[in-house]
């Protein structure tokens, strides 16, 4: 018996300019996902799980294991020009973790899943 873990993580874009009003804590909820657009699809590619950022040129850079190793990829906010930036075959998937916290003071950073 073993445990098979599937980790779905995909890239989403939220357009804050579309918000008709600013929602404060405790107010009624707006419809979910109304302004969220999913840019990547699929499972076990861990897209953005280990980091993502806007580049100064407006493209989105994110970590993905689409080709088996943990590498930096790029896409435009409309989902076009999906391309691989780095090629580091020695790296694998790493679950997110943090070095602080009441329950885990030391980081399980080296843990691979």
List of residues contacting another protein (CB under 8 A): 1-17, 22-25, 29-36, 39, 47-56, 58, 60, 62, 72, 77, 85-87, 95-109
Of the pair 23, 68, the CB lying nearest another protein is at 23
Provide the minimum distance between the beta carbon of 89 and another protein in the complex, in angstroms, as a whole number.
14
Q: Round the CA-based radius of gyration of the chain to a whole number and report it.
A: 17
Instruction: Quote the least distance from Cβ 15 to another protein, whole Å.
Output: 6
Long-range (24+ apart) CB contacts under 8 A made by 34-37 are 36/12, 37/12, 37/13
Min separation Cβ 55 and another protein, Å = 7
Tokens of 77: 């906010």
CB 89 within 8 A of CB 96: no
Cβ 49 to another protein, closest distance in Å? Answer: 5
Q: Are 90 and 69 in contact (CB under 8 A)?
A: yes
Residue 14 or 92 having the CB closest to another protein: 14
Q: Kindly report the backbone phi and psi dihedral angles of residue 44, in degrees, each rounded to the nearest multiple of 5, phi listed first.
A: 60, 20
State which residue, 68 or 104, has the beta carbon closest to another protein.
104
């Amino acid at each position: 018996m073993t445990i098979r873990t599937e980790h779905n993580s995909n890239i989403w874009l939220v357009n804050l300019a579309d918000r008709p009003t600013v929602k404060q804590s405790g107010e009624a909820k707006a419809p979910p996902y109304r302004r969220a657009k999913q840019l990547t699809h699929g499972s076990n590619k861990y897209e953005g799980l280990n980091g993502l950022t806007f580049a100064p040129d407006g493209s989105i850079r994110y970590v993905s294991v689409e080709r088996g190793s943990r590498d930096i990829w790029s896409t435009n906010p409309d989902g076009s020009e999906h391309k691989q930036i780095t090629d580091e075959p020695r790296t694998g998937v790493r679950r997110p973790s943090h070095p602080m916290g009441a329950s885990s003071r030391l980081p399980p950073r080296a843990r691979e899943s």
